Chains A and B, each alone.
Chain A
């Protein structure tokens, strides 16, 4: 089986930096993905890490440590529009499907 843990809620100030952590347990790990979902909207792919280290895409970065079964999403220069839910997801080799965490609701305040 697989499990993912991420904080349920995070609040941060506009312009600041926020880190959303994700720990996972899965058999046959391929990689860790991050998706963003605004209220009432569709999930949107943000990033993917298959190897240890940091991947940067604009204001968003994602980190993976395979030895620690841990990753995080880093959002810099926060904007109000970043208020959304962020899901980490793993690909499970045994079940051959993408398994999502329950999401972290990020609220950006002025």
Chain B
């Protein structure tokens, strides 16, 4: 158990819909990272927040957005969903401001778009 929690575990929705994925980092960690993992693919970095501020952006679509709240939990919002958005979405946390190689991953949210 990494100490990172994600909800929900599974999400099934239809194309065109909007969903919100939630992540709580490990106690004391200020950085939160979001990743997308499609079938048989590696982890694609989406975005990083540090202490409430966006720190780094990866291959995140304009239909996706994220934020980190004062209590440090983070939410990833996915809108106008397409079939291709079906994937595992992981949140990771670390206690460093910059990119760190040691990130602690949550159990993930499996999103299925029908």
A binds B: yes
Interface positions of A (Cβ within 8 A of B): 30-31, 33, 41-45, 48, 87, 89, 91, 95-103
Q: Which residues of A contact B90 (CB under 8 A)?
A: 42-43
- Check B107–A103 contact: CB distance below 8 A: no
Q: Smallest CB–CB gap between B23 and chain A, Å?
A: 12
Q: Are B99 and A97 in contact (CB-based, < 8 A)?
A: yes
B25 proximal to A (CB < 8 A): no
Q: Say whether A95 contacts B58, CB under 8 Å.
A: yes
Tell me, in angstroms, the Cα distance from A30 to B48 when the chains sit together: 18
Judged by DSSP, the binding face of A is strand
Report B103 CB to chain A, min CB distance, Å. 7
- Cβ-defined contact, B56 with A97, below 8 A: yes
User: Residue among B4, B42, B55 with the most chain A CB within 10 A?
Assistant: B42
Most buried by A among B2, B44, B105: B105
- The 8 Å CB contact of A98, one of B41, B55, B103, is B103
B49 at the interface (CB under 8 A from A): no
Residues of A within 8 A of B2 (CB): 42, 44
Residue in chain A with minimal CB distance to B106: A42
- A101: contacting residue among B40, B42, B99, B101, CB under 8 A: B42
